[in-house]
Amino acid sequence: MQFYSDGWGATERHIPPVFHTAGKRTTQKIERNHLTLRTRIKRLARKTICFSKSIVMPNLEIALGLK
């Protein structure tokens, strides 16, 4: 298993160098995926901002977000 971080000192102290890759490029890609997933499934967080009128839609959003 490989771990990616931005080079924070605590991460480097607790994860062996064999499993750890430090760098902004990989961290940005991972954070971008997290942001996309949070944006697409925000209908699950607050009903007043973005909500579904049917039961099927949240399940489809989760399936699309996890692909």
Residue range 30-64, pLDDT digits in tens: 888 888 877 777 766 666 556 667 778 777 777 77
Contact (CB, 8 A) for 33 and 26: no
Contact (CB, 8 A) for 41 and 65: yes
Looking at residue 66, its pLDDT comes to 64
CA distances from 54 to 2, 21, 42, 43, 57 (A): 39, 43, 15, 12, 6
Structure tokens at 59: 């399940």
Q: What is the pLDDT of residues 15-34, one digit of tens each?
A: 888 888 887 777 788 888 88
Global pTM reads 0.43
Looking at residue 39, its pLDDT comes to 75
Where in the sequence is the domain holding 34, given as residue range(s)?
A: 3-66
- Structural domains counted in the chain: 1
